[in-house]
Amino acid sequence: MLTLASKLKKEDGGKTGRASGASDSTYRVSIRDRLLTKEVAELEANLPSTCKASFPDEDKLHHFQLAVSPDEGYYQSGRFQFEIDVPEAYNMVPPKVRCLTRIWHPNITENGEICLSLLREHSIDGTGWAPTRTLKDVVWGLNSLFTDLLNFDDPLNIDAAEHHLRDKEDFRNKVQDYIKHYAR
């Protein structure tokens, strides 16, 4: 599956056989791509059972989708799609993540913006992005937004959080309605 890995191996083996006058840029692979080759292999080996990663282009490990299908809680039976783009400056900056599925969630807006501290470049509480974090942390964090990281006290979608505080049963019904219409 990881054709970029084979590309990296060819590059390492082919450096000495380079034709004179060949441009260095044709043989360079970015630090991001080198990191992603290792991280994607680790991610695939340690993916939560409720998640599935898909790579539309196997040569572009920096752009992929993640499907999260929670098996408990308010969002059980839904299938939520996320788009993950890893910028060239990775691992010094976090990946850009957007929820593609319309959802009624206190930490995800209906437009797909996500409030997850580890995706913040700078975080007051010290839980934001750090170069030691990996894609596995991002995936596990997104998965946890549907269970233990579901946060009604510091919401991005204030209407959803207030709805939950007012009437938990009606909140559950609205979540199920969204799942029925958008997350199957």
Burial class (CB in 10 A: 0-12, 13-18, 19+), 122: exposed
Please state, in angstroms and rounded to a whole number, the distance separating the CA atoms of residues 73 and 103.
14
Which residue out of 114, 115, 145, 175 is catalytically annotated? Answer: 115
Q: Contact 176/104 with Cβ under 8 angstroms?
A: no
Q: Contact 128/116 with Cβ under 8 angstroms?
A: no
Is-catalytic flag, 51?
A: no
- At residue 81, φ and ψ (nearest 5 deg) are -100, 135
The 3-state DSSP composition of the chain as helix, strand, coil percent (nearest 5) reads 35, 10, 50
Burial class (CB in 10 A: 0-12, 13-18, 19+), 20: exposed
DSSP label of 142: H
Known catalytic residues?
Answer: 115
